[in-house]
Amino acid sequence: MAKTRVGILISGRGSNMASLIKAAEASDYPAEIVTVISNRPAAGGLAVAAKAGIQTVVIDHKDYATRMAFEAKMHQALLDAGVDLICNAGFMRMLTGGFVDRWKNRQLNIHPSLLPSFPGLDTHERALREGVRIHGCTVHFVRLEMDTGPIVAQAAVAVMPGDTPDTLGARVLEAEHRLYPHALRLVASGAVRVSGEDIRFAPPTDTPAALFSPPLRP
């Protein structure tokens, strides 16, 4: 069975990109990373991808007069690479409806919160300010409205006494590096599909034990 051809969009160091590249090295992984595209020429993730032998493309958004012109170039680069599915991995550009519609149900994003809670920026600061005891990350299909779309998978981490945005963020990022490859496997293998705005699993997944924060005591 042919593997799903994945293009990754980045703007920075690409730590989630690196986790996807590593996962895709396994012979039984159902996706292959065929290109990495950055809107920032200095993005650290470009060197990581190139070292892994993956084609890299720089499309600097500052070189284009309009967002649509930038996206048209990016769209063509994805087509040229034969991409089936996009993974946003720290891609810091809002996308227009035209681009989102072209890649509807073929574009994933990872966000550092348990959506629909805390969309947007500064998620760890906001989680601490609101006093939540469980935080985490989400992989979802992209829709026009920021940080919305059918949810593929989530990972939860406990909020610890004395946490700062940095310490909490570090634990969430560690969870992200495990969650994104898992979610991509689900989508690329066909175990997850979108029906309207709902996710369908085939076969159904088992429900894990609950996470308690603070932990339960005997």
Helix (H) or strand (E) holding 21: helix 15-24
Q: How far is CA 8 from CA 79, 101, 126, 127, 159, in A?
A: 13, 18, 28, 28, 30
**Is 167 within 8 Å of 141 (Cβ atoms)?**
no
- β-partners of residue 70 are none
Contacts of 14 (CB under 8 A, 6+ apart): 8, 36, 43, 44, 45, 46, 48, 49, 89, 90
- Tell me if residue 182 is catalytic: no
Residue of 61, 75, 111, 177 marked catalytic:
111
Quickly tell me which residue has 């039984």 as its tokens.
28
How many CB atoms are located within 10 Å of the residue 88 CB?
21
Residue pair 158/174 in contact (Cβ under 8 Å)? The answer is: no
What positions carry a catalytic annotation?
Answer: 111
